Structure 1
Amino acid sequence: MNYSVLKRLLIGKPLKTKELGDQKLSKLKALAILSSDALSSVAYGTEQILIVLATVGVLAYWYSIPIAIGVLVLLTALILSYRQIIYAYPQGGGAYIVSKTNLGENPGLIAGGSLLVDYILTVAVSVSAGTDALTSAFPTLHHYNVVIACLLVIFITVLNLRGVTESASVLAYPVYLFVIALILLIAVGLFKIATGQVSPELHPSLGTVVPGISLFLLLKAFSSGCSALTGVEAISNAVPNFKEPGAKNAVHTLMLMGGILAVLFSGITFLAYWLGISPKADETVVSQIASSVFGRNGFYYFIQGTTALILVLAANTGFSAFPLLAVNLSSDKYMPRMFQIRGDRLGYSNGIVTLGIASIVLIVAFKGATEQLIPLYAVGVFIPFTLSQTGMIVKWLREKPAGWQGKLTINLIGALITLTVLIILFTTKFSQVWSVLIFLPVIVYIFHRIHTHYEAVGEQLRIKQGEKIGKLEGSVVIVPVAGMTKVVENSLNYARTIGDTVIAVHVAFDRESEKRMEEKWEKWQPDIRIVTFHSQYRSLVRPLFRFIDMAEEKARENNMAITVVIPQFITKKSWQNILHNQSSLLLKAHLLYRKNVIVTTVPYRFKK
């Protein structure tokens, strides 16, 4: 099976550019594809709070309730803030565009770099968490966590390469099944609590005095719970993917996502508290709740199955948002232009593949145990959260549109809360997030280097009005020859058509073959001058380059062009290439970066 057939089988037939409109998302599909990260965080947000509180003891679990309320207040502020960002910047780009436009270049690049890294972490953490949920139900699979996670990333990558609408159609079912499963779990759990089927002795009472509790620990638990808010910004980055009216549909999707997230997070946190659930290394909190409410029956496995699916497919939020953010950065010349190219299925394939590879590298590096990445994951979100809110404040103060005071108030509250959470994250988890202080400046530096390169290229390529281009008086063609063959003859015939002076160059490894070549050449091509070199160290490149340097200097003095014609034979079958010395490729690789030398390859194709 050749490459093109395999590609068609995996990705599907290419789509015409005019079909781009058909790849836009409806609200229901967008909710599934862009909210899966935020909704999936319900599966580990509560658990992260309890892990911190568990260091003090079971009595401290009641603090999960006020901490959850704090997380919900922050969620409300973020939803209202991003609602305004979507309407103000319907072209997408989210925190990057807002920060760059209103705060300047570097804040924008910090926001963009943070989000790019965060989307890679999204995929790695989500898939690893989904694998953990799967192995919680089937403990015998624990040893294969890394392999399972990598295969799942490959599956999601291929799914996204097939196109936005196709991946959304597939992913919508697991997302909505997860929402139904958790609503069912919460409803049945609350019913059992209300009817007295759950002992009230399982949990500490609200307000119980807890020895050893501290404000530092509570803030740490709160910052851990804020991991439930990752992914909220994804919709603002992907507004161009929505059907028209894009901004309005994106806002409706954002509000719906916020409502569902609030209900699920509140319900899971309350049930975990009431049932006295403690975090375990080999079983998730959601698994323990489902086991307590339903027992290990079909309903339990339905919840575990949908939870595993949503956690894995939460990675799709990264696959939806990363390529679009990369396009914005690439359009502004901060990332390679290849990220602007649409693939066969009209998706930004290079961004999708890059994200998939980076995520697999992270999973393998951390051996699937990405819990230690969650704090870094949260910091990666709250930096752009804070910058985007601050950028919107500057926008309202500068433009002062109708009703700007209310808009300013919303963004001001959002900025203060997100900045507070960011400070708490750095204060309480510095040992886990310090690396952000290193890799973010490095990323911003790389962005600037790329931008400088593109600016320099543009300046050199730009045609300036009135600028005169010097005319060349002639051309010298140099043909490296290994022997007297049809391949060389073919190249010499071509060289005669383009050059005023043709010089053949032969590098011999011993004096006898050098003399023999000169004698045979004189009989074979008497009208073309040959220059031979004896290479004591069997180097083909160095003697040839010395001659090209001399020829280039003389050509420059006489205002002439230098062209190197490289003979190359092409085998009938590709595998046959390994049977031959690829000296022509070596020469091309070395000559490619010569400033004043034109390199031409003349192929000679074998018929058998």
Structure 2
Amino acid sequence: MLPSLSEEQVRALRRVGRAWGRVSAAPEVWREALPVEPDIGSFPAKAEASTAWFGRVVPLTPLRARAAEGRAVPVPEGGGPAEAGSLVRRVLIGAPLASSAFVKERMRKLVALPVLSADVLSSVAYAPEAMLAVLVLAGTAGLTYSLPIAAIVVFLMLAVGVSYRQTIRAYPHGGGSYIVAGDNLGPVAGLVAAAGLMTDYILTVAVSIASGIAAVTSVLPGLRPLTVPLGVLVIMVLLAGNLRGIRQAGSLFAAPTYAFIIAMLVLIGYGLVDAARGGFHRVPAPHVPVTEAVGVLLIARAFSSGATAMTGIEAISNAVPAFRPVEWRNARTTLTWMLGLLITMFVGIVALIHLTGVVPTSRETVLSQLAHLSFGNGWFYVYVQAATAAVLLLAANTAFNDFPRVLSLLARDEYVPKMFLRLGDRLAYSGGIVLLSLAAALVYVAFDGRTNALIPLYAVGVFLAFTLSQSGMVVHWWRRRDPHWRKSLVFNATGAALAGLVLLTAGISKFTAGAWAALIAIALFLLVTTSIKRHYVTARETLRLRPHAVDLPTRVEAGPLAPAARTADGLQADRETEEIPGEIHHLSVVPIATMDLAGMRTLAYAASLGQPVLAVHISVSEEEERRFRAYWSLWGNHLPLQTVLSPYRALVAPLVHYIETLHRLNPDLTLTVILPEVVTRHRRHQILHSRTAGRLRRGLRHLPKIVITTVPFHLPC
């Protein structure tokens, strides 16, 4: 959270400190003038966290105040909208997790398999049907191409799957398409890959839920009019589940995935045994009218539709840090399991379709027809449909794990707002999860929850990311030339060539069917992210510490800094009875996050008032706390500083707790909280910067004698 200072900025900080020393009172004078004891307590230490089922749970309680001289500290009264809202959040997503729980929130292989593979494994429920839905346009003659096309898709699965095993080995700390393409092909290629991934993840949620609702309505046709509301409801359930944290999401969603795997293996095994009894005699497909001749374009469309079975195959390489140690080894093992299950189920379903002569219909899914043929209307048919619906509805969880992670990487590189960089209460990227839910719900509603309408948009984004990622790996091996680099290069080159072929095929064959919309979305993504990057670069350059650019306080002598007299009790302060200036005793509190021009201007303004000043820094880690104190010492330690360690990655809530506790310990003081505020030239850019002042004002407005003021710093953009 705390940006590092360059050597030039460190030198500038020292010069500014020397200039402060010439116009300001000595540091010890400022410290002696403080009418409060700054060290008023701490949040619960990591060792005091209570253990629960899902890791360390630490409620975000107020600071445990150290009352000076035995004075009792008033206990904050409960109730009010803020407390009610906090209670609702705790009920829905649970108490905050301390940062020390992050290791406990990592996944073992048996949990990671369903969480990260639900998308790709569940695709066997709709990818073979999507392939047949194109071939059936050519009648019986078109259906004969199903086996050769399926064989090519399986070869593609093997090539890309093995290629991603090489990616995990080369990037053991997580190497999704964005990182690999950006590192090896340049920032623009990385952004294009990220755009493809983001589009794919949004469509993954929409397509998976549309397919799951279709499985439900195959069994319960009366629910078809409720397709859209049911899908939106499922998205909201996924949103709430993922906001609770990755480990809880894995525990919630593992059972349906394993139930689906069992259902598919039993269905395939039973169907093949039944076919073996009849000598594998193929049942002729029913006559279907010919609406399109067999041609290259038709075959290409069928192939790209069948290749949607691979969407989500890179999820494990994206999420290597989410595994338990040794992360990369567990990730490779899980990828191998996933690949074996995917090929087995895809080949088995296509073989059963070929042997039974089943064709797609608008009334019933292909899987439902296969289950009917094998089990009739018995309980196992219901089990197959229920497991299929459940895994399809929850397969979107793969996107909920990877979309926020990619978004956080983009935020780290300043291509999207930095609010997506922060972990939420439950160690999940809450901002990205909410954004994905809103975008997926919008797409789902816009297409009325129809799977066939969404599929054409699906393949372009994911295979664009595949192509760039594997091409980047080719460049990586060529540059590094590690042991066995030639073998790895061949694997990745094969994967890049095949993924590029699918991308070209899908882009051409499905352009008019909706692929154009995905291409436009990718272009808009590039336009927006590059614009955000330019703004952040300009803002960082403007805020950078430079000699002769820092505001200094007017000359402040020791006289005005005499310690304020305390009242005998806090009754006067609580009644707010001061009516003349002499009855008001001040303390200026300056929350400061970074030592930049905006922060230095705020410190200069506070010091120029001639009243006692206390600077407060909220640190999200002990390392950041040490680094900030080092910068403060380089500056000259001119003003008193109190650092507060927040073990929950939160900034505003701990700051509110600190100021509230300071007020209750010293009710006779008027606390003026002085905040730096970055003001952008265009209102649309304001979302890219912190809005701490407004949040802090809302959090403290119920307390008397606390004033919030801001010192604006105007950016030229």
Q: TM-score, normalised to structure 2's length?
A: 0.66
Output the CA distance in 1 between the equivalents of 2:255 and 2:703: 53
Asked if structure 2 preserves the Cα contact closer than 8 Å seen for 1:43 and 1:307, the reply is yes
Q: Give 1:170's aligned amino acid.
A: L
The answer as to 2:297 corresponding to 1:216 is: yes
Give the corresponding residue for 2:482.
401
Give the corresponding residue for 2:314.
233
Q: Per the alignment, in what secondary structure is the counterpart of residue 42 of structure 1?
A: helix
Asked if structure 2 preserves the Cα contact closer than 8 Å seen for 1:202 and 1:276, the reply is yes
Instruction: Give 1:308 shift.
Output: 0.3
Kindly name which structure, 1 or 2, has the bigger radius of gyration based on alpha carbons.
Answer: 1
Asked if structure 1 preserves the Cα contact closer than 8 Å seen for 2:182 and 2:191, the reply is yes
Question: Which of 314, 330, 336 in structure 2 is aligned with 1:255?
Answer: 336
Instruction: Give 1:492 shift.
Output: 8.0
Give the corresponding residue for 1:421.
502
Which sits farther off after the overlay, 268-277 or 369-378?
369-378
Instruction: Give 1:299 shift.
Output: 0.8
Q: Per the alignment, in what secondary structure is the counterpart of residue 356 of structure 1?
A: helix
Q: Per the alignment, in what secondary structure is the counterpart of residue 144 of structure 2?
A: helix
Deviations 1:250-301 (A, max 9, x none): 1111111000000000011111111111111121110111111111111111
Output the CA distance in 1 between the equivalents of 2:519 and 2:215: 32
Q: Which structure 2 residue ranges, 5 or more long, are not aligned?
A: 1-82, 557-574, 589-607, 610-676, 682-692, 706-717
Give the corresponding residue for 2:354.
273
Give the corresponding residue for 2:472.
391
Instruction: Give 1:212 shift.
Output: 3.5
Q: Give 1:241's aligned amino acid.
A: A
C-alpha spacing 1:603/1:116, structure 2 compared with 1 (3 Å):
closer
Instruction: Give 1:491 shift.
Output: 11
C-alpha spacing 1:408/1:284, structure 2 compared with 1 (3 Å):
same
Give the corresponding residue for 2:399.
318
The answer as to 2:424 corresponding to 1:343 is: yes
Give the corresponding residue for 2:106.
24
Q: Give 1:160's aligned amino acid.
A: N
Q: Give 1:71's aligned amino acid.
A: V
C-alpha spacing 1:398/1:274, structure 2 compared with 1 (3 Å):
same
Output the CA distance in 2 between the equivalents of 1:256 and 1:68: 20
Aligned residues: 503
Instruction: Give 1:3 shift.
Output: 1.7
Instruction: Give 1:461 shift.
Output: 2.2
Question: Which of 463, 469, 472 in structure 2 is aligned with 1:382?
Answer: 463
Output the CA distance in 2 between the equivalents of 1:391 and 1:103: 6
Output the CA distance in 2 between the equivalents of 1:133 and 1:434: 28
Alignment of 1:294-309 (within 5 A): 294-309=375-390
Identity between Structure 1 and Structure 2 (%): 41
Question: Which of 213, 225, 235 in structure 2 is aligned with 1:153?
Answer: 235
CA RMSD of aligned residues (A): 3.1
Give the corresponding residue for 1:173.
255
The answer as to 2:170 corresponding to 1:100 is: no
C-alpha spacing 1:407/1:360, structure 2 compared with 1 (3 Å):
same
Instruction: Give 1:605 shift.
Output: 6.6
Asked if structure 2 preserves the Cα contact closer than 8 Å seen for 1:93 and 1:325, the reply is no
Instruction: Give 1:17 shift.
Output: 1.1
Give the corresponding residue for 2:135.
53
Give the corresponding residue for 2:205.
123
Instruction: Give 1:199 shift.
Output: 6.0
Question: Which of 301, 307, 323 in structure 2 is aligned with 1:242?
Answer: 323
The answer as to 2:109 corresponding to 1:109 is: no
Give the corresponding residue for 1:91.
173
Instruction: Give 1:468 shift.
Output: 5.5
Give the corresponding residue for 1:566.
none
Q: Which structure 1 residue ranges, 5 or more long, are not aligned?
A: 205-209, 476-485, 500-559, 562-590
Instruction: Give 1:436 shift.
Output: 2.9
The answer as to 2:365 corresponding to 1:284 is: yes
Give the corresponding residue for 1:511.
none
Give the corresponding residue for 1:373.
454
Asked if structure 2 preserves the Cα contact closer than 8 Å seen for 1:323 and 1:351, the reply is yes
Give the corresponding residue for 2:559.
none
Give the corresponding residue for 1:43.
125
Instruction: Give 1:344 shift.
Output: 1.4
Instruction: Give 1:237 shift.
Output: 0.8
Q: TM-score, normalised to structure 1's length?
A: 0.77
Instruction: Give 1:201 shift.
Output: 3.6
Asked if structure 1 preserves the Cα contact closer than 8 Å seen for 2:282 and 2:357, the reply is no
Instruction: Give 1:390 shift.
Output: 0.7
Instruction: Give 1:435 shift.
Output: 2.1
Instruction: Identify, as 1 or 2, the structure richer in helix.
Output: 1
Instruction: Give 1:105 shift.
Output: 0.7
**Which structure exhibits the higher relative contact order, with contacts defined as CA atoms closer than 8 Å and separated by 6 or more residues?**
2
Output the CA distance in 1 between the equivalents of 2:292 and 2:234: 44
Output the CA distance in 1 between the equivalents of 2:128 and 2:378: 24
Q: Give 1:459's aligned amino acid.
A: E
Give the corresponding residue for 1:469.
550
Deviations 1:334-355 (A, max 9, x none): 1111112111111111111111
Deviations 1:158-196 (A, max 9, x none): 111111111111211110110000100001100111101
C-alpha spacing 1:68/1:18, structure 2 compared with 1 (3 Å):
same
Instruction: Give 1:248 shift.
Output: 0.7
